[in-house]
Structure 1
Amino acid sequence: MQLGIVSPIVTANPGAHAPWEEKAGIAELVQVAQAADRLGFHHLTCSEHVAVPTEAATQRGGTYWDPLATFGHLAAVTERLRLMTQVLVIGYHHPLAIAKRYGTLDLVSGGRLMLGIGVGSLEEEFALLGAPFARRGERADDGLRALRASLGRREPSYHGTHYDFDGLVVEPHAVQERVPLLIGGRTARSLRRAVELGDGWVPFGLGLDELHAMLTSRELPAGFEVILSPGRMVDPIGDPGGTTTRLARVREAGATLVTTAVEATSADHYCDQLETLAALAKEIS
């Protein structure tokens, strides 16, 4: 079983982060990332929000490190760990801006980029950035097609309903032949979008039985990634049996990759937990 981690420190969602993270910074994040890299974890994550309205922050949290800056630093201090946005809101960016900025990240990281993409739901943030909120799903679909036509290409060309470009040079660009596009969401439409336009699905806020039913209701393409989470933080040292059971249940629900959050009281404790978690994952596999 391949495991990734929900990066600590970079977000502070209510109920989903530990007290030690409030005083931690880049040094502790590097410590965790390097431990995950050494132990063979598949990926770590970073989410995107530019500015969260004060009222919304009580549910969503207000701390969101910028993925591009964060991953640019972590790329320099790790070797194998993949860098996954979870998620980047596609409506906030022109597809060529993503292709250039994150394509450069793919280059400097040696081809380790995974682009988790979301349609977005925070209307105030759309307005702040001057991005259209209405028909955002339709625009996201066209943006995904434009992004697929652009990533890894020096001279991208695309003619769609919302994006149209040709005769341009984007250099540098992604070095992967096909950068994974992983679509976030919790609806049947998001799964359909992922199957038709992406390389995988990153659902959230759904129970494992519901996820299993959705995943078995349609044929998935070969190599299609399903990235699931066991839910609340796992405690590999304190509860190895419970951790193993939860990971196994996620795999049975249809996960090809599992992204976990780990209980810890410090960065050192977090790294110890990762070491135990890596050993448990091998037993399940």
Structure 2
Amino acid sequence: MSGATTLKLSIPTPVVSMLPGASSPWEQTGTIEDVARIAQAADRLGFHHLTCSEHVGVPADEAVRRGGRYYDPLATLGYIAARTTRIRLATMVLVLGYHHPLEIAKRYGTLDVVSGGRLILGLGVGTLKAEFDLLDVPFEDRGSRGDDALRALRAALSQPLPAYEGEYYSFGGLLVDPCAVQDQVPLWIGGRTRRSLRRALALADAWAPFGISLAQAKEWLDQEELPAGFEVVLGPSQALDPLKEPDRALEELATLAAAGTTIASTRVVHDSPEHFIDQLEALAAIHPPAA
């Protein structure tokens, strides 16, 4: 794979979430300054985006599987925005049912303003019923409610006088200032079902699934007609080690591209912030991120 490739590279941000089996021990005591240094390196090297996920509260028995740490994405990405200049800032993901669409439009529209138009809204319908119950929001109709929220967001983002009439959400006659500065904020859909892919194709700009195999993702993608410009964000089967195994790293990226990936979520082997940055530099040297 050469620099001519169109496969873009991104990073799942360390420290801000701790996923069992995927996080490195140093992240347990890692700081926001460590995150900022890594973000600045990714920014300098031309990586496409970095991420921050959302959970308000994870039940203790679920934390064994999902992890218990989740930095708030708005505060975290706002801080990173001030420390970087180019890299895009992706919520991966906000749970639609936890927020009114106008809350997202205002809060994250403000983030788009202060970051100079670098916001990507990664969104999902959610699966953790205990968290829905904690927040006193409906769980059973979260799919149809989420679809309506996506339509409402599309109508509201970047509009100082948004108006929408839908099944669950209706609004108009309100001034939302500031609002997003991008003409169309990218909406990406997370999830782990074929329904999430169909939701992304119908209502959004990209599919960024988690917890499914590359073979399964390719099977579903092969059965759909993808519109021009539609992004597919997938990660390698295991963390890359471009410092020690550059050829294997390139093979993994080629496999991702062959499956239909347009942006690779490049999880790397790392045992410190410095090692993480060294890995990003090594990866960018053998495969320019093409941001």
Q: TM-score range by the shorter chain?
A: over 0.9
Letter in 2 for 1:68: L
Deviations 1:34-82 (A, max 9, x none): 0000011010000000100000001000000110000000000100000
Gaps of 5+ in 1: none
Q: How far is the alpha carbon of 1:231 from its aligned partner?
A: 2.9
SS of equivalent residue, structure 2 residue 94: strand
Q: Tell me which amino acid in the other structure corresponds to 1:101.
A: R
User: TM-score, normalised to structure 1's length?
Assistant: 0.98
1:1-285 to 2 correspondence within 5 Å? 1-282=7-288
Distance 1:284 1:128, change over 3 A: closer
One-letter amino acid matched to 1:185? G
Structure 1: distance between partners of 2:218 and 2:285: 26
Give unmatched runs, 5+ long, in structure 2: 1-6
- How far off is 1:108 after superposition? 0.3
Q: What CA RMSD, in Å, does the superposition of the two structures yield over aligned residues?
A: 1.3
What letter is aligned with 1:25? T
Separation in 1 of the partners of 2:115 and 2:290?
30
Q: How far is 1:130 from its partner?
A: 1.3
Q: Deviations over 1:88-133 (max 9, x none)?
A: 1011000000000000000000000001101000001001111111
- Find the aligned partners of 1:123 and 1:226 in 2 and give their Cα distance: 27
- 1:252 CA drift (Å): 0.6
Q: What amino acid sits opposite 1:230 in the alignment?
A: P
In the superposition, relative to structure 1, how do residues 135 and 273 fare at CA in structure 2: closer, same or farther (>3 Å)? Answer: same
Aligned partners of 1:148 and 1:186: how far apart in 2? 23
Find the aligned partners of 1:271 and 1:282 in 2 and give their Cα distance.
15
SS of corresponding position for 2:173 = coil
**Letter of the 1:24 counterpart:** G
State the SS of the aligned residue for 1:116.
strand
Secondary structure at 1:76 match in 2: helix
What is the identity, as a one-letter code, of the residue corresponding to 1:264? H
User: How many residues are matched?
Assistant: 285
For residue 59 of structure 1, give the secondary structure of its aligned residue in structure 2.
helix
Which residue pairs with 2:4 in the alignment? none
SS of the residue 2:44 aligns to: helix
Partner Cα distance (1:203, 1:22) in 2 = 25
Identity of aligned pairs, percent?
56
Q: Equivalents in 2 of 1:160, 1:193: separation in Å? A: 17
Once residues 69 and 25 of structure 1 are traced to their aligned partners in structure 2, the CA distance between those partners, rounded to angstroms, is: 14
User: Displacement of 1:282 after TM fit?
Assistant: 3.2
Q: Structure 1 residues 131, 22: closer, same or farther in 2, change over 3 A?
A: same
Q: Secondary structure of the residue that 2:41 maps to in structure 1?
A: helix
User: Shift in Å at residue 142 of structure 1?
Assistant: 0.3
1:232 Cα shift? 2.5
Distance 1:22 1:171 in 2: 38
- Taking the aligned partners of 1:283 and 1:67, their CA distance within structure 2 comes to 24
Q: Kindly indicate whether the alpha-carbon contact (under 8 Å) linking 1:244 and 1:284 is maintained by their aligned counterparts in 2.
A: no
Give me the TM-score of the superposition, normalised by structure 2: 0.96
Give deviations 1:149-199, integer Å, cap 9, x for gaps.
000000000000000111111110000000000001122211111011000
- Contact 1:7/1:261 (<8 A) preserved: no
Distance 1:133 1:256 in 2: 32
